[in-house]
């Protein structure tokens, strides 16, 4: 019995049987058609065999060693640190530049002050020149006349 439409229906149902419970009438259809159509029977056998081979080779993971969790957590810490560093790096850079500028300014100011202390400044010179000249208040003693 080769009817392409019926064979297509058989193949669709044969595949769906792996995913859902077929109705009694669908099961009956599959049984009848498989008995009558050798190609479809072969199709079902091949599909079943190939997929069983796949399912039978499922991996079974080895029991978890603590190493797995340790590796994940180490990576997590590492990436978090790296991320937070890259997040803060512009701010850190700006702070470093600002600190350098402040230090440089302080250094310059200190150096100027030190230089001033060794050089007689304008104000100091004026203080000297403007030193009040006090009047000489010592009474004039007339010279003793020789007798």
Partner 1 sequence: MFKIGRGARSMELALDEAHWVVRAREGQEHSMRLLIERHRNRLVRVASNILRDANEAEDVAQEAFLKAFRELDRLRDDQAFSGYVYRICVRLCMDRLRSRRAEPAEFESATADQGEAIENRVVIERLLDRLPYDLRVTLVLREVEQLSYDEIAEVLRVPVGTVRSRLHAAREKFRALWLEAVG
CB of 33 to partner 1, least distance (A): 18
Is 50 one of the binding residues for partner 1 (CB under 8 A)? Answer: yes
In the range 2-41, which residues lie near partner 1 by CB under 8 A? 12, 15, 18-19
Is 86 one of the binding residues for partner 1 (CB under 8 A)? Answer: no
CB of 82 to partner 1, least distance (A): 11
**Do residues 36 and 1 touch, judged by C-beta distance below 8 A?**
yes
**Do residues 44 and 14 touch, judged by C-beta distance below 8 A?**
yes
Is 58 one of the binding residues for partner 1 (CB under 8 A)? Answer: yes
7 burial via Cβ count (<10 Å: 0-12, 13-18, 19+): middle
Which one, 54 or 134, has the nearer CB to partner 1? 54
- Distances, alpha carbon 128 to alpha carbons 115, 118, 122, 132, 136, in Å: 20, 16, 10, 9, 19
Q: Summarize as ranges the residues that interact with partner 1 (CB under 8 A).
A: 12, 15, 18-19, 43, 46-47, 49-51, 53-61, 63-64, 68-69, 71-73, 75-76, 79-80
């Amino acid at each position: 019995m080769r009817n392409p439409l019926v064979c297509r229906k058989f193949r669709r149902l044969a595949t769906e049987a792996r995913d859902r419970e077929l109705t009694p009438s669908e099961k009956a259809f599959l049984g009848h058609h498989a008995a009558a159509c050798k190609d479809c029977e072969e199709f079902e056998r091949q599909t079943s065999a190939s997929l069983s081979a796949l399912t039978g080779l499922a991996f079974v993971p080895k029991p978890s060693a603590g190493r797995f969790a340790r590796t994940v957590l180490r990576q997590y810490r590492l990436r978090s640190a790296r991320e937070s560093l890259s997040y803060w790096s512009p701010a850190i850079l700006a702070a470093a530049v600002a600190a350098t500028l402040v230090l440089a300014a302080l250094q310059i100011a200190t150096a100027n002050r030190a230089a001033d202390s060794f050089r007689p400044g304008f104000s100091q010179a004026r203080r000297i020149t403007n030193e009040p000249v006090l009047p000489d208040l010592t009474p004039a003693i007339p010279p003793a006349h020789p007798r």
